[in-house]
Amino acid sequence: MHVIWAPWRMTYVKDARKLAGCIFCLKRTTRRDAARLVLHRGQHGFVIMNRYPYNSGHLLIAPYAHVKSLELLPADCALDLIRMTNLSIRVLQQTIKPEGFNVGFNLGQVSGAGIEAHLHLHLVPRWNGDTNFMSLLAETRVIPEHLQATYRKLRTAFRLALNEPSPAAGLRRMHAAGAGARQRTRPKRRRGSKSPARRSGKTPS
- What is the contact mask toward Zn ion in residues 143 to 162, using x (rule: CB under 5 A)? --------------------
The span of 38-46, 65-73, 124-132, 150-158 binding Zn ion (CB under 5 A) equals: 65-73
CB 122 within 8 A of CB 58: yes
CB 41 within 8 A of CB 155: no
> Which of 24, 64, 101, 151 contacts Zn ion by CB under 5 A?
24
Q: Does 4 bind Zn ion (CB under 5 A)?
A: no
Q: Does 25 bind Zn ion (CB under 5 A)?
A: yes
Integer Cα distance of 59 and 40 in angstroms: 11
Residues in the chain: 205
Closest separation in Å from C-beta 175 to Zn ion:
39
Number of residues that bind Zn ion (CB under 5 A): 5
Q: ∠ at Cα 116 (15, 124), nearest 5°?
A: 75
Among residues 30, 31, 36, 6, the alpha carbon closest in space to that of 18 is found at 36
Q: Does 169 bind Zn ion (CB under 5 A)?
A: no
- Catalytic positions are 120
Residues within the interface to Zn ion (CB under 5 A) = 22, 24-25, 66, 118
